[in-house]
């Protein structure tokens, strides 16, 4: 009986040990594994940019640059939910693989894209080098837009049925500080009679026209620069009583 009792104790001991091992393997190991992975996760480079180009107030898209518009970029390094101090890191800024600026702790950078006007986009790269030699970099692609002005009109499909028409010019991607320098020129051709108006908005009283007759409207926007920056747009309106 003593031998049997001792045998049972050994049996229960090893059963308990097996249960603890099973629990650790299937429940605790994934936790420690995930914690270990989180601690060794690679830093993430966060590269952001903005531009001071002009767009209409109702525009809801991202403001994109043109060749005369200042672009500003900033870089941060994130690891385990916290930003890493880059004050001692050497940071270089490249545009289309060309180094434009570099320095210790240089986390912000601004440039005007004029030297790259032949490119349809700007590849802006932030390259971070730690004191111990490790290099990390991130690139963001920024499209190079052409400033443009379009005719905005409330007449769906170009059809109108009133004697007084209203249209306005909407300009995009011009330098914000030069928006006031844009010159607008409208040309209206109704029944062969042409009229020129110089303003950003147009209120037009048209002559009597027949149903289905068309009126031609064209617009040119211009900024006097070297070379001049201009944009064209045109449309046809049709009288539909």
User: What is the reported pTM?
Assistant: 0.70
pLDDT of amino acid 24: 44
| Cβ-based neighbours of 97, under 8 Å, separated by 6 or more | 123, 125
3-state secondary structure of 68: coil
pLDDT of amino acid 105: 95
| Cβ-based neighbours of 18, under 8 Å, separated by 6 or more | none
| Range 148-239 has CATH code 2.40.290.10 | no
Nearest to 74 by CA among 140, 173, 145: 140
Cβ atoms 68, 229 nearer than 8 A: yes
pLDDT of amino acid 1: 42
Cβ atoms 92, 75 nearer than 8 A: no
44-143 and 148-239 in the same fold: yes
pLDDT of amino acid 47: 97
Burial of 73 (0-12, 13-18, 19+ CB in 10 A): buried
Q: What is the pLDDT of residues 130-170, one digit of tens each?
A: 877 788 999 999 998 888 999 999 888 889 888 888 889 99
Query: How far is 14 from 33, CA to CA, in rounded Å?
Result: 26
pLDDT in tens, the chain (241 residues): 433 344 444 444 445 444 444 444 444 444 444 444 445 578 899 999 999 888 888 888 889 988 778 999 999 999 888 999 999 999 999 999 999 999 999 999 999 887 666 778 899 999 999 877 788 999 999 998 888 999 999 888 889 888 888 889 999 988 877 778 888 988 888 665 566 677 788 887 776 778 888 888 999 998 877 667 789 999 999 888 8
Sheet bearing 164-172, strands edge to edge: 148-152, 164-172, 201-205
Q: Which CATH class is domain 44-143?
A: mainly beta
Cβ atoms 47, 126 nearer than 8 A: yes
Query: How far is 190 from 119, CA to CA, in rounded Å?
Result: 41
Query: Which residue bears the tokens 């011009």?
Result: 174
**Helix, strand, coil % (nearest 5) of the chain?**
20, 45, 30
pLDDT of amino acid 13: 42
pLDDT of amino acid 192: 56
Q: Are strands 71-79 and 44-51 parallel, antiparallel or unpaired?
A: antiparallel
Cβ atoms 152, 170 nearer than 8 A: yes
Domain positions in the chain are: 1-40, 44-143, 148-239
């Amino acid at each position: 009986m003593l031998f049997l009792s001792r045998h049972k104790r050994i049996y229960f001991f090893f059963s308990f040990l097996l249960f603890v091992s099973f629990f650790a393997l299937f429940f605790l190991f994934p936790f420690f594994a995930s914690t270990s992975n989180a601690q060794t996760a690679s830093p993430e480079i966060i590269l952001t940019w903005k531009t001071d180009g002009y767009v209409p107030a109702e525009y809801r898209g991202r403001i994109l640059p043109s060749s005369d518009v200042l672009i500003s970029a900033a870089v941060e390094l994130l690891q385990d939910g916290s930003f890493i101090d880059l004050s001692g890191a050497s940071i270089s800024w490249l545009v289309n693989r060309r180094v434009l600026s570099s320095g210790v702790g240089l986390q912000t950078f601004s440039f005007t894209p004029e030297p790259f006007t032949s490119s349809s986009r700007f590849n802006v790269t932030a390259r971070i080098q730690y004191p111990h030699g490790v290099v990390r970099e991130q690139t963001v692609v920024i499209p190079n837009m052409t400033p443009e002005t379009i005719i905005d009109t409330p007449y769906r499909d170009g059809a109108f049925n009133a004697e007084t028409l209203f249209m306005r010019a909407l300009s995009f991607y011009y330098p914000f500080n030069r928006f006031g320098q844009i010159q607008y020129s409208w040309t209206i051709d109704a029944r062969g009679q042409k009229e020129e108006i110089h303003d950003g908005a147009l209120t037009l009283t048209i002559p009597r026209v027949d149903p289905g007759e068309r009126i031609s409207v064209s617009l040119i926007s211009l900024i006097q620069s070297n070379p001049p920056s201009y944009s064209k747009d045109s449309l046809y309106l049709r009288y539909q009583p």
